[in-house]
Every structure is written in C-alpha cells, then in structure tokens.
Amino acid sequence: MPRQSARQAAQAKLTAEAIGRVEEKVVATKVSKAKSAASVVESKVEVNKRATTKRKVDYNEDKEDESVKSDVNDINDIKEEEDDEPSTKPAPKKRKTTTTSSKKTDDSMPLAARTPLNTLKLAMKIGAHVSAAGGVQNSITNASSIGANAFAIFLKPHRTWKYPPFSPETPSLFSSLLKTSTYTPDIILPHASYLINLAQPDKEKSTQAYSSFLDDLKRCDALGITLYNFHPGSTGGLPMSEACARIASHLNTAHKATKSVITVLENMCGSGNIIGSSFSDLATIISLVEDKSRVGVCLDTCHAFAAGYDIRSPEAYAKTMREFDEVVGLKYLKAFHLNDSKAPFSSHRDLHENIGQGFLGLRAFHNVVNDERLQNIPMVLETPIEVKGPDGKKTEDKKIWADEIKLLESLIGMDAESKEFKDLEVELQKKGAAERKRIQEQVDKKADKDAKKAAPKGKKGAAAAAKKKKKTEEEACDSCGEESE
C-alpha cells in the first residue's frame, strides 16, 4: 500500500476506533453499536469453534500454551482464561489470503495486510507479541493476520516449569509456514518465561531456571530463530555485580551449548533488586559475556520511560539513545518493545498503554520509528487489547494491534509539526486521559504515603520506610514477572 494511503487508512481507522473501540467506561449501548461487523462475525465463528477445537489439542506443548496469548496482557495486569481460545486452534490449513472462507478462525482472518517494507521510507519492522497456542507454527498466521512485519511469541507455557518438548513435526511445520509467509527468522523475537531468573543465587532454583532457559535456546535453534529475549532477573537482595556475574556465567555456558541464537537482555523499569533498570546493569552483564556476538539488548519504551529514561521529545530521545550508545553500545541493540505507559515518568511502574494514549504520547513513537538506525530490527507491540463487550465480558480485539501497526508505520516520514500529526496526537491523548489520571492519582497517593511514613519517625523510621518503599517498587514491576521467588 502506498504510504499516503496507508496513512489515510490508519487515520480513518483511528477515527472509526475513536467512535468504535470499546472504552470500558462508555455506555454499553454505544459499545454494541460500535462493535464492527467483522468482529461480530469473528466471535460467532469462535463460539462455534470453541467447543470442538479446544478439546482436540494436537501437540503436547499446546495444552498449557493456551495461556500464552494472554501473556502480553498479564503484563498489563489483566486476564482471564475464556477468551484464550480464539487462538487455540489446530495447525492452520494453509491458504490464508482469502477473506471469504467460512473456515476462517479469528486469528487466520486477516485484519490487515502486511505493509511491504519497500513502500515505507524506512524499513521499520513493526509487529506484536502474538499467540502461539496450538503450536508455535500458528504464530506465523497470527502475525500475518494483523499485518505484522515482526513478532514475538512464547516458545512454551510461560508461567510453569513444566514444558513438554516440541512434537517431532513442529520445527518442519514452522519452517515451511515461515517460508510461505515470506517472513525471515530474524524478525521473530521469542520471549522467555517470566519465571526464569538467571541471577538466582539458590543452587537448585538456579539449575531449574537455567534448564528452562537452555531448553528455550534449543527450541530457537530447532526453529532457526536467531533472537531470544529475556528479563535479566532479580538480585534477590545480593549485590548487583554478583547477580550480573551469575547471569553472564549462565549465558556463557548456554552459548557453548547452542548453535547461534543471540540472547537478548530486556531493560526493566523496577528499582531495588530488579536487574536491568539501568543501562549500566546491561553493560555489566555484556562485559562479562565471552562471545559478544551472542548477546544483545531489547529496549522496551515503557520500561525505559518508567525507569527514568525520557524519549518524549526529539532532544530527550536523542539524549537517551546517546546514553545507551555510550553505556551499552548501539551495536547491541537488537529489538524494541513498543509500549506506551499508563504510569508517569520515572514511576517504576510497569503498565503498558496503547500507542499515543499514555504518558509517552505519540511524539515518542514518532522519534523511534523515524530513527534510521533502528531499521530492520523487530519492533514488537505489547499493548493492551482486551476490551469489554456489550455483555460485560472481556475479549481480545486484535484489530487494535493491526491498527497500531498501521498507525506506527504512518508516522514514518510524517512531519511532526503538521496538522495531521497534531490532530492524531490530541485524539489519542484524549482517549487515554481517564486512565492516565487514574494511575497518576495512585502514584501521587503512594508518594504522599511514603513521604509521611518517612518523615516524622527519625532516622530509624525513615530507614524502615525506605526499605519498604524499595520492596513495593520491586513488586510494582512484578507484572512483568522478574521476581521469580
């Protein structure tokens, strides 16, 4: 699609969404009116599929993988099970181009076409963390159906230590589907289980974490995937330098035990025991990795912002990237997570928001997608897609990702001073206003409480309050799962 019309389409969609997308607090009647005809059909198809497909799970790994698709949303403190099955479907039956087939399931019904990269001014590969339920090969169709040019997945159930192996046919199924889809393996960014903490000092738990980690890397090798993203973990209260050394030591062993996958550290937003909230933590780990070609970094925009790295204005963005380059090195930057933030700057809260609606705002994303140094690396949305239907039930609307991908692509080369951009910016900020206010109040209230606790009790009381504050900050980031026991 030519850029201009892609932009127009994105805008049209946004406008339609402004009316149509389900804003939870809006009157139910409005909601039902707004719901698109397509998604109504989809959910009908789903209901029918549900009973039959949910039962016949083909592969071992599928059973618990159902939880996979909510993963991203768990990050955002939402979730339930019942709407997991849109993606719990048997291996896709090829032919994914026709839109009329009655056989279509939710995820295989294309919501948007992929934008050919040569029609964009910069080769920004933008996608989302899609479901791999029903077998990892299904993620390819799921990505394609939202028009993603990159995607993330979980390689196995991510909230349990039980992980049955891939079925023997999974790797070949995956490879052949990848080929037909014209995706290259380097745009896939698997995400590690939230339980894995490679900094774990306890011997037994450390072995458990490492085994799961290694198993994931072997899965990447088997599928031909070249990147693997994980959270550095938690120090468990021990010195940061030692924790970083434990991580690096595991990485060194893992690199020797696997072929070529690059282990990609994610920046975090917590403080205290959380590793990776500052660029220097990441640099420390990298410095101790023997094979530097096997290590990289994934920058999460929400985490960076909540950790105190500003990217809202062009100047702030440039400063943050310069700092990243100086401390870590741009050559290690292998991927991006594109999330707006429901929580304010430096709040250490990990609450993902839809693009343009949070405290980061559209300008931040304009900065990112117009940075030519970031071409060709996977950029993955982990924004909330859960919406409340007219019946009050929550469902996932993958159209939100499809639209956000087009929105972000439309920003490439767009004049940020233009009316077009300003209008978009205002419209999106308006949509997120209530939620920003709600979280801001929480943050303010907590700050007041902490200040009160710390103030009058003299040295001892202040120290206790500070300790408690540190702990809560760590917990605040638990939605991303770093604190693994």
Q: Which residues are part of the catalytic machinery? A: 159, 191, 194, 231, 266, 300, 303, 337, 350, 352, 382
Which of 6/268 has CB closer to Zn ion?
A: 268
Which of 266/404 has CB closer to Zn ion?
A: 266
CA distances to 26, 209, 286, 312 from 279, in Å: 41, 23, 11, 18
CB of 306 to Zn ion, least distance (A): 8
Tokens 């995820």 belong to residue: 107
Per-residue binding string, Zn ion, 241-270, x by CB under 5 A, is -------------------------x----
CB of 479 to Zn ion, least distance (A): 7
Cα(255)–Cα(231) distance, rounded to whole angstroms? 17
Which of 59/324 has CB closer to Zn ion?
A: 324
Piece of 21-29, 69-77, 121-129, 276-284 that binds Zn ion (CB under 5 A): 69-77
Residue 350 near Zn ion by CB under 5 A: yes
CB of 370 to Zn ion, least distance (A): 24
CB of 231 to Zn ion, least distance (A): 6
Residue 379 near Zn ion by CB under 5 A: no
Which of 299/374 has CB closer to Zn ion?
A: 299
Cα(193)–Cα(205) distance, rounded to whole angstroms? 14
Piece of 70-78, 85-93, 433-441, 450-458 that binds Zn ion (CB under 5 A): 70-78
Cα(334)–Cα(230) distance, rounded to whole angstroms? 12
CB of 350 to Zn ion, least distance (A): 4
Piece of 26-34, 105-113, 130-138, 345-353 that binds Zn ion (CB under 5 A): 345-353
Piece of 26-34, 67-75, 120-128, 242-250 that binds Zn ion (CB under 5 A): 67-75
User: Which backbone phi and psi does 468 adopt, to 5 degrees?
Assistant: -65, -40
Residue 480 near Zn ion by CB under 5 A: yes
Residue spans of beta strands (DSSP E) within 339-441: 340-341, 352-353, 378-381, 386-388, 394-396
Which of 9/78 has CB closer to Zn ion?
A: 78
Piece of 130-138, 238-246, 306-314, 350-358 that binds Zn ion (CB under 5 A): 350-358
Which of 66/266 has CB closer to Zn ion?
A: 266
Q: Closest Cα partner for 216 from 178, 163, 142?
A: 163
Selected from 1, 14, 57, 75, the binder of Zn ion by CB under 5 A is: 75
Residue 148 near Zn ion by CB under 5 A: no
CA atoms within 13 A on the CB side of 424: 28
Token pair listed for 265: 């550290």
Q: Are strands 340-341 and 352-353 parallel, antiparallel or unpaired?
A: antiparallel
Q: Give kind and range of the element (H or E) at residue 337.
A: strand 333-338
CB of 442 to Zn ion, least distance (A): 17
Cα(50)–Cα(54) distance, rounded to whole angstroms? 6
Which DSSP state fits 21?
Answer: S
Which of 338/402 has CB closer to Zn ion?
A: 338
CA distances to 228, 248, 446, 474 from 243, in Å: 20, 9, 29, 16
List contacts with Zn ion (CB under 5 A): 75, 266, 350, 480
